[in-house]
């Protein structure tokens, strides 16, 4: 079973600002959906709340995947199908391994990435060209040297590339 991290990151390693992604790239969102559909996705509470707010705003249900939300808040509850709350990365991974046999995805945010980068086998990155202002950053991933695939793209004012890396 593979542990994978999936993220969109700028060239200066920004992943967010004030709990929002600093760009909107539809093709990146589709890629996230397509890669994670039917799998377990582990994320922090802020990332989950941000995603949930988006889906509620556009009046859609969460996509067909199992969400495991990691939070230090012992009172945090989710009353949605296929959503679980745990209070550590270890508990998240143990639960995920009971559910998923193929590939577990970790989708952020900064603290979750920092705690799992050394556990990951593969990275699915969308690297957005340019330097962005932000307050959330992706950790160093220089250990991931093997390029599985790389595809350059453009959408609107954004130039980016989809990259799959392994150690």
> pLDDT digit string (tens) for 36-55?
999 999 999 999 988 887 77
Q: Which domains does the chain have, with CATH numbers?
A: 2-166 (3.40.430.10)
- The whole-number pLDDT of residue 36 equals 95
* pLDDT profile of the chain (167 residues), mean per 10: 97 93 94 94 93 74 87 93 95 96 95 97 98 97 96 97 97
Q: Taking the complete model, does pTM exceed 0.85, yes or no? A: yes
Predicted pLDDT at 110: 97
How far apart CA 105 and CA 164 sit, in angstroms, is 13
Q: What is the pLDDT of residue 58?
A: 67
Total H helices, total E strands in the chain: 4, 10
What is the per-residue pLDDT for 61? 66
The span from the CA of 150 to the CA of 140, in Å, is: 19
What's the pLDDT at 38?
93
Tokens standing for 13?
């390693």
Contact 114, 89 (CB under 8 A): no
């Amino acid at each position: 079973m593979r542990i994978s991290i999936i993220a969109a990151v700028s060239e200066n390693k920004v992943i967010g600002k004030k709990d929002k992604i600093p760009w909107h790239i539809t093709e990146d969102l589709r890629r996230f959906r397509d890669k994670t559909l039917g799998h377990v996705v582990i994320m922090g509470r802020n990332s989950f709340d941000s995603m949930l707010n988006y889906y509620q705003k556009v009046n859609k249900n969460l996509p067909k995947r199992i969400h495991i939300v990691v939070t230090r808040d012992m009172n945090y509850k989710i009353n949605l199908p296929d959503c679980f709350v745990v209070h550590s990365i270890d508990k998240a991974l143990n639960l995920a391994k009971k559910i998923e046999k193929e590939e577990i995805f970790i989708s952020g945010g900064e603290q979750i990435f920092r705690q799992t980068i050394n556990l990951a086998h593969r990275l699915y990155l969308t690297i957005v060209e340019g330097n962005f202002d932000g307050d959330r950053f992706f950790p160093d991933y220089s250990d991931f040297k093997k390029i599985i695939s790389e595809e350059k793209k453009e959408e609107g004012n954004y130039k980016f590339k989809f990259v799959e890396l392994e150690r």
